[in-house]
Amino acid sequence: MIMKGKKGVILGIANKKSIAYGIAKACQEQGAEMAITFLNERFEKKLAPIAEDLDCGARLYPCDVSNPEEIKALKVSLEKDMGQIDFIVHSIAFAPKEGLSGRFIDIGKDAFDVAMNISVYSLIEIVRELKPILSNKASVLTLSYYGGVKYIPNYNLMGVAKAALEMTVKYLAEDLGKDGIRVNAISAGPIKTLAAAGIGDFGFMLKWNKAHAPLKENVTIEQVGNSGMYLLSDLSSGVTGEIHYVDGGYNLMGMPAVEFDEAGKPHIAWNGEK
């Protein structure tokens, strides 16, 4: 089994539709032992059965990344219960509602600060606090989206946060490479998750991606999970600082396919539902 003997922590599972759950499940199926975290009491109740499903029921820890003390406490708990760990999955992002709608120029500083703190700085803080218990061949993985590279309607502030996150991956990869620690990100195509529910017209985004991605399908949490497992395992021991796309190839498209009617008038080819 590819991950046999590996131990790690997954931050950011919300439910069984979460991309983080897909990664955790793929790692478990390949022999990994893990812990998972929850944001607050409401999520603790929801995640308890998921922790049992992942064989880590006793390793379910609180971690609100906006509270530095909870990150420090997570390190203490992981060291006590697991000793050294081999991987971290950071699947945490948040922007206030005002940052995901309306005109971009009207986004307030408070909303900007919150989004950058939760979605970006938390990766740095988590890795820094957990570094003393990371093995010398550890792997760190976070989650991005194409909206951090190109404009995506209704993504607004989160696009800026993802752009910052991707550069954070690269700078962390260089800084931690000397310690043998790898840092990568997966940029997944749109998936119907709890986080995606806050993005306006998300249903149209799913249809558009399916129609214009080369594979003509939307990806699943299982597909992203398997890619995540690869990046956390020794199979990717020579890979760091990468933004790995798992989006059916959508990111390579410069423009959608165009068809012409009998009069020679162009229109966008649409192979999905209208």
Quick one: pLDDT at residue 9? 98
User: What is the distance between the alpha carbons of residues 67 and 124, in angstroms, rounded to a whole number?
Assistant: 14
Contact 185, 169 (CB under 8 A): yes
- Which residues are 186's β-sheet partners? 143, 244
Tens of pLDDT along 91-119?
Answer: 999 999 999 888 999 999 999 999 999 99
Confidence class of residue 209 from pLDDT cuts 50, 70 and 90? confident
Domains of the chain: 7-268 (3.40.50.720)
The mean pLDDT of the chain is: 92
Phi-psi sector, 61: left (phi>0), alpha (psi -120 to 50), beta? beta
Confidence check: pLDDT of 35 > 70: yes
**pLDDT-based confidence at residue 267 (cuts at 50, 70, 90):** low
What is the three-class DSSP state of 149?
coil
pLDDT value of residue 81: 97
Express each pLDDT in 51-74 by its tens digit: 999 999 889 999 999 999 999 999
Please work out, in degrees rounded to the nearest 5, the angle formed at the alpha carbon of residue 23 by the alpha carbons of 204 and 83: 150
**Predicted pLDDT at 58:** 86
Tens digit of pLDDT for each residue in 187-199? 999 987 766 666 6
3-class secondary structure, 261: coil
pLDDT tens digits along 159-203 = 999 999 999 999 999 999 999 999 999 999 998 776 666 666 778
pLDDT for residue 195: 67
Q: Where are the beta strands (DSSP E) in 126-233?
A: 134-144, 182-188
Active site residues: 145, 155
**Alpha-carbon distance 8 to 203, whole Å?**
34
- CA dist., res. 273 & res. 218, Å (int): 13
Residue 269: count of CB within 10 angstroms of its CB: 12
The single residue listed with the structure tokens 């909206």 is 147
What is the per-residue pLDDT for 271? 55
Dihedral, CA of residue 186, residue 189, residue 190 and residue 191, to nearest 10: -70
